A and B are shown apart, each in its own frame.
Chain A
Amino acid sequence: MSLRSAKDPNYQKPLTRLIDVAAGPLQLAGFEAEGGYSALKTAVKTLQPQEIQTKVKDANLRGRGGAGFPTGIKWSLIPMGPNSGPKYLVCNADEMEPGTFKDRLLMEQSPHQLVEAMAVAAYAIGANLGYIFLRGEYVLAAERLNQAIAEARAAGYIGKNILGGDWGFDLHVHTGAGRYICGEETALINSLEGRRANPRAKPPFPQIAGLWGRPTIVNNVETLCNIPHIVNNGADWFKALSQGKSKDGGTKMYGCSGLANKPGCWELPIGTSAREILEVHAGGMKGGKKLKAWLPGGASTDFLLPEHLDLPMDFDTISKAGSRMGTGLITVLNEDQSIVSAVRNLEEFMARESCGWCTPCRDGLPWTVKIMRAIEAGDGQPSDINTLSKLTRWLGPGRTFCAHAPGAMEPLQSALKYFRHEFEAGMAVVKVPESGDVCALPEHGVGAKADYAKERMKWVNQ
């Protein structure tokens, strides 16, 4: 990780410039000394909320939570004006995406950056109250954010009459109880209200009826952290950060996990290629193994192949390649790893994390898991692959209540597309004694490992 004083000659790193993991996060004084809270001062003292919204729109900042929705457009849907309140700003810090740990880094190592960012964003949308919905396991982040908020409150950056003006903003950290679905913004809102974390129907969008039924903006941690820098340096500066690698602007928190030599998280210009992330920053595949497949950004993105490594990692390009950039933290699989096991593992997670609201997700995901357990155990049946591919359609976009199950189908459908043979290899095989032929069982058979079938099914069904 870059040191606080080190200036990388090649890239500007506005989000992580002040991060020094060894030294720990900056306290308020240190943060202010490095220019912290200057964006809030500029905003409150010199800018109208609408002007900040315009800057963010001009910068074409796209949401860093995974969907890439333009932040400026999201904000523009919120009612403004004297009678539009109360309104709320919510930071989505429920980072539970498998293989993703970028927001954790930003919150643990630069908590004041987020606090300032939320104050500026709240000013821009006219909110007086904000919540950071934090993943429950992020204990350290909670501690540091609460400390930063306390410091900011004492210094007058949070609270009533901020910087001597009329506008006030208070901010609370709310730690989640550990549900992946809380990352879905409307489920997050329900959870924050103390209800079951089921997603809400849209429309109405949160900008119209969100938290407590009021206009609400929900933004990801990384998205928000960009706001003060855009206010300080302008839209053109922000766009230039990508150095022409993408038509999108800004930097992106990229990362790599899996069997790479140096898994980690790095702030790089948006549009940096996955090859650079894997080979330069993550030090290549561990043990010199060949890369088999990679997930561009979390468990709900389609697998890509080594041939896709040179594509610039941005929302549009990765979409065109048949996947989604998602969070941008790639997960790599090497040639020895079973795609069936990997996907089964992901689907187990997704099945467990379904909120249970809609039929395809609630009942379809466990079915995929059971089929893949059977295939892993060599107990697959020829109809299983067909059933799996049917499930990828039934659980696809537009079929389910929210994006959870369609996301869960992305690794499965791409695994079926690229690695169908690995699924076929899991078919139950039986020796028919009379003829000596080897054949796959058509239906409801007992496999060649008949003696163990009972034991295995117990495991399959557990």
Chain B
Amino acid sequence: MAKIHVEGKVHEVNGADNLLQACLSLGLDISYFCWHPALGSVGSCRQCAVKQYKDADDKNGRIVMSCMTPASDGTYISIADEEAKEFREAMVALLMTNHPHDCPVCEEGGHCHLQDMTVMTGHHSRDYRFTKRTHNNQYLGPFIGHEMNRCISCYRCVRYYKDYAGGKDLGVFGSASRVYFGRAEDGVLESEFSGNLTEICPTGVFTDKTHSEHYTRKWDMQFAPAICTGCAVGCNISPGERYGEVRRIENRYHSELNGYFLCDRGRFGYGHVNSEDRPRHALIKREGQWLALNKADAIAQAAAVLGGHKPLIGIGSPRASVEANFALRALVGAENFYAGVSAQEAATTATCLKVLREGPVPAATIKRIEQSDAVLVLGEDTLGTAARVALALRQAARGMLATMSAEKRVPEWQANSANDIAQHALNPLFIATPVATKLDEIAAIAHRASVSDLVRLAQAITHALDASAPPAKVDAETAAMAQRIADTLKAAKRPLVVSGTGCGSAALIEAAANVAFALQKLNEATAICLTLPEANSMGLALMEAPALDAALTRAAQAETVVVVLENDLSRRAAASTLDAALAKCTVIALDHQQTATTATAALLLPAASFAEGDGTFVNFEGRAQRSIQNFDPAYYDRHVATQESWRWISALRAATGKAAWANLDAVMADAESQIPALRGMSAAAPSAAFRIEGAKLARAPQRQSGRTAMRANVFVHEPRATQDADSALAFSMEGINSTHAVTRPAALIPFAWSPGWNSPSAWNKFQAEVGGAMKGGDSGVHLFKHNGAQSYFPASLEATDGLTVQLIHSHFGSEELSSKAKPIRERIPQAYVALNVADAQRLGIEHQALTRVELGDYVLSLPAKVRLDLPQGSVGLPVGLDGIPPLTAGAAVRVSKGA
């Protein structure tokens, strides 16, 4: 800590910060552009000028840039000094000489950092009377709009895109007043993290194109603190809604998880919420035709089926909330509840849970991943399965910048100096995977091997770390590599092991865990990151239900009523198996999408998507997080019956004589009492009874307009806003909106706003220290803690023979819901079969040639990708793409030339 003097008043600050960060953390406003908590200082915009004095007696002082000046003990500054104020206003005046002043037609307007800073500095009229420079705009793909004339040249975009996210196709061109930020030529931005440009850009140069399609100002949207359903990381998101449509997804700051950044799958994959063909009414099938039912009739019909004395089973889902899964389990009985994932997925997920819950090594948060100084990635292509992890691994590698800067006594926040000093030096990242990954380019070793060889490599590393672990049978080259990796991990201060379910191999996860366990004996700071298949895979795994295969076996035995919860079973089991199992069954489906499974149902109950419902999701580290409802679709259309699956089931319980749940809190209380593993989940966010100053918290900004007119086309009277029984938030702009009067729990902050701060920079006001944890702590609660009991897993090698399936995960396309969004669809590759070049030559298959792939019952015709990276014998198939059946890793596959 350091004491600094601002306007003669003493403040305690973090002496390692720069003055700008320190002052912002104190709640003192200084305008800035080029600085960003995640990107550090470069001193380019000259906006954060303050007056610094030598000591208490110095009356003259000099102008310094607060972002470039350390907040060292005994610093005397003035923010209010007239000369400093004039200079800050002057800098805005200069930026404005080329800014088009097009706020009324600019999509950034209303959440624009430039607007906020302009108002903050008091710049209100223009002396500049000459013409402005103009630029051409570029086509940057389906996600990002480009309007270069608004650019104020703060350089944040390129610093984020290139330095932070490792992108290569966005740069700064030209010089002087003609500097241009864009691509060398029009084209789709390559990075999977391009969406963050919309928040990094302080003005409207890079905007969200998907938002543009149905644009609404920030102040006119309604928000909610939600959890991304794109993968198991559980990034915190802030969906913005208007007229019953999600209009955009913004990042919702969480210091341990997503920080300031989301991946493009998460940000732009919300289209399934708005899609036209969603089931919004209960439907019953009569002679092959769907017939709409009202809610009461639907409940009565379903209750009749359930009460019909046929055997009853329930199939849960890793993309549904804990509450929805628990409700189904309560409805059908624990012994009749199944996890709704393949046996392989259930096994690998359970292995991850076992490693994390019963092993001695803590699960890494995204922040912990970023702080790692040596990493072993075993098997997992994180960009495809948990993209935010991949971005964090880049920061782990870049951690070397801070280390080398420190040696030269340069503070970590001096971003460009750190780059200059470290040049291209990186912390060691060892990537041992069957398929090439985008992170290979920053890896100390990028090693390609089959899953079974990776298991052996991990065994060798484990043995090199701990001689008491069994040795591995590997060749000399692999042994040497294992030794090098072991030595590096051993020397690291904060080593990390990354693996996951992506390869579909429990043996690989266990082998990775063994490495971490061995490291942990040497270094208590060791962490492990295991990625999981879907948003609530962990929540489902905690319920320890048998897999889908067991459910189908049972369903095939007798005429059964099968309740399928938010699950497209055709993605998980072969069509022939499903058809055979369900042929005589009555299927009741609850889902918010039309799927192959809902098509086979006798009754379809329209479930809420994440935007219309409340529920808890447990992420890959075991953190339970509440995802709160964004809007009530019935407010706009009384006929819409969409509600949370658990609420449908609650009504079904009531109809069959059991007690209904009053609200989400009641479901959680039941779940916690019946399933010990879920205990504590209700602490993820305050209950529905929570109030601040006796009031609920507003979901919409104070200035939201048009509520009276919103339904005027339906009925002239404005109905009462929907009352939210499940959370402490109100569907309204009425309620608590303040950032400072009371510490708001992070789990209940729907959007970033504070007086004078309309842009995402408003997160400053919610953080205890700018760029750090939220006031009152980050949201979510860990449902378990590593306990140290588990010792090494015994080596288990899955014997492979002949050609087998290797799963390939695609950032765009492998996840079900995001793949329904139109802009995401533009980025999804065509289905293909990937072959090792030697295998392809042996089979006489040329690159791009149509190839016959026989997989169980399926015979596919796919274009071949002949690749150098795949191990011989592995046949790579992209998970979840159109034309690709459900895949089992390691399954035998026949590949032959010709369609």
Say yes or no: B90 contacts A354, CB within 8 Å: no
Q: Nearest Cβ in chain B — how far from A445, in angstroms?
A: 11
Task: Tell me the residues in window 189-220 of chain A with beta carbons closer than 8 Å to chain B beta carbons.
Answer: 190, 196, 200-201, 203-204, 208-209, 212-213
Report B203 CB to chain A, min CB distance, Å. Answer: 13
> In the complex, what residues of B have CB within 8 A of residue A362's CB?
153, 176-177, 179
Question: Is A201 touching B68 in the complex (CB atoms < 8 A)?
Answer: yes
Contact B417 A351 (CB under 8 A): no
Measured between alpha carbons, how far is A352 from B175 in the docked complex, in Å? 8
- What is the bound-complex CA distance between A400 and B42, given in angstroms? 12
List A contacts of B128 (CB < 8 A).
367
Interface flag for A422 (CB, 8 Å): no
Tell me whether A356 and B174 are in contact (CB under 8 A). yes
Q: Which of B43, B47, B129, B179 contacts A356 (CB 8 A)?
A: B179
Tell me, rounded to whole Å, the shortest Cβ–Cβ distance linking B235 to chain A.
Answer: 33
Quick one: given A201-B43, A204-B408, A356-B176, are A363 and B98 in contact (CB under 8 Å)? Answer: yes
Complex CA gap A258/B45 in Å reads: 37
Q: What is the size, in residues, of chain B's interface with A at 8 Å between Cβ atoms? A: 43
In the assembled complex, how far is the CB of residue A39 from the closest CB belonging to chain B, in whole angstroms?
Answer: 33
- A201 and B421 contacting across the interface, CB-CB below 8 Å: no
Measured between beta carbons, the chain B residues less than 8 angstroms from A320 are none
Q: A314: shortest Cβ distance to chain B, in Å?
A: 27
Known A201-B414, A208-B408: A213·B94 in contact at CB below 8 Å: no
The answer to whether A400 and B94 have CB atoms under 8 Å apart is no
Q: In whole angstroms, what is the CA distance A186 to B726 when docked? A: 59
Given A204-B417, A355-B175, A355-B176, the answer on whether A398 and B62 have CB atoms closer than 8 Å is: yes
Expressed in whole angstroms, the Cα–Cα distance for A353 and B178 within the complex equals 11
Contact across chains for A363 and B94 when beta carbons are under 8 A apart: yes
CB contacts (< 8 Å) of B43 on chain A: these are 201, 358, 401
A369 to B94, CA, bound (A): 14
Residue in contact with A179 in the complex, picked from B98, B175, B421, CB distance below 8 Å = B175
Interface residues of A in 19-47 (CB under 8 A from B): none
CB distance from A355 to the nearest CB of B (A): 6
Q: Are B176 and A351 in contact (CB under 8 A)?
A: yes
Which residue from B42, B152, B172, B175 sits with its C-beta under 8 Å from A201?
B42
B408 to chain A, nearest CB (A): 5
Q: Is B803 an interface residue (CB 8 A)?
A: no
Choose one: B42, B68, B153, B420; the contact of A359 (CB below 8 Å). B153
Q: How far is it, in angstroms, between the C-alpha of A387 and the C-alpha of B177 when the chains are bound? A: 19
Residues of A within 8 A of B127 (CB): 383, 387
Given known pairs A179-B175, A358-B44, A444-B129, the reply for A390 and B414 (CB within 8 Å) is: no
Interface size class of A (residues with CB under 8 A): 35 or more
Asked if B94 contacts A359 (CB within 8 A), the reply is: yes
Find B87's partner among A190, A204, A370, A394 (CB 8 Å cutoff).
A394
Which residue of A has the minimal Cβ distance to B422?
A213
Q: Do the beta carbons of B179 and A209 come within 8 Å of each other?
A: no
Q: A356 CA to B179 CA in the complex, in Å?
A: 6
B595: interface (CB < 8 Å): no
Is the pair A370, B130 in contact by a Cβ cutoff of 8 Å? yes
CA of A351 to CA of B175, assembled, Å = 10
A201 touches B423 (CB 8 A): no
Please tell me if the beta carbons of A399 and B87 are within 8 angstroms of each other in the complex: yes
Q: Is B136 an interface residue (CB 8 A)?
A: no
Contact A212 B423 (CB under 8 A): yes
B689 to chain A: closest CB distance in Å?
Answer: 50
Which residue of chain B lies nearest to A362 when distances are taken between CB atoms in the complex?
B177
A360 within 8 A of B: yes
B 396-424 to A, binary, CB cutoff 8 A, 1 in contact else 0: 00000000100010100010110011110
Among the interface residues B87, B90, B94, which one has the most CB atoms of the partner chain A within 10 A? B94
Interface pair A359/B130, CB less than 8 Å apart: no
Which B residue sits closest to A209, measured CB to CB?
B421
Q: How far is the CB of A372 from chain B (nearest CB, A)?
A: 11
Q: How far is the CA of A209 from the CA of B128 in the complex (A)?
A: 40
A394 and B44 contact, Cβ closer than 8 Å, known pairs A201-B68, A352-B176, A356-B175: no
Q: Which of B46, B91, B95, B131 has the most CB of A within 10 A?
A: B46
Contact of A394 among B94, B175, B408, B423 (CB under 8 A): B94
Taking a contact as CB atoms under 8 Å apart, the answer to whether B420 and A354 are in contact is no
Chain B hits for A460, CB < 8 A: 130
Q: Which residue of A lies closest to B423 (CB)?
A: A213
Question: Whole-angstrom distance between the alpha carbons of A390 and B131 in the complex?
Answer: 20
Chain B residue contacts of A200, Cβ below 8 A: 416-417, 420
Q: Which residues of A contact B95 (CB under 8 A)?
A: 359, 363
B47 lies within 8 A of A359 (CB): yes
Q: Give chain B nearest CB distance to A353 CB in angstroms.
A: 7
Query: How near does chain B come to A182, taking the closest CB pair, in angstroms?
Result: 11
A367-B97 contact given A383-B127, A398-B64, CB 8 Å threshold: yes
Chain B residue at minimal CB-CB distance from A190: B420
In the bound complex, what is the Cα–Cα distance between A123 and B593 (angstroms)?
75
Chain B: CB-nearest residue to A374: B130
- Which residues of B are found within 8 Å of A398, using beta-carbon distances? 62-64
Contact between B421 and A394, CB atoms less than 8 A apart: no
Chain A positions 323-373 with a Cβ under 8 Å from a chain B Cβ? 351-360, 362-367, 370
Quote the shortest CB–CB distance from B406 to chain A (angstroms).
12
Residues of B contacting A365 with CB < 8 Å?
Answer: 176-177
Q: List 11 A-B contacts (CB under 8 A).
A: A200-B420, A201-B68, A213-B404, A354-B176, A356-B177, A357-B155, A358-B45, A366-B97, A367-B130, A390-B90, A398-B64
8 nearest A-B residue pairs (beta carbon): A356-B179, A363-B94, A370-B130, A461-B131, A354-B176, A209-B421, A213-B421, A394-B90
Name B's A-contacting residues (CB within 8 A). Answer: 42-47, 49, 62-64, 68, 87, 90-91, 94-95, 97-98, 127-131, 152-153, 155, 172, 174-179, 404, 408, 410, 414, 416-417, 420-423
Given A357-B155, A359-B153, 9 additional A-B pairs, CB 8 A: A353-B176, A354-B177, A360-B91, A362-B153, A362-B177, A363-B177, A366-B177, A367-B97, A461-B130
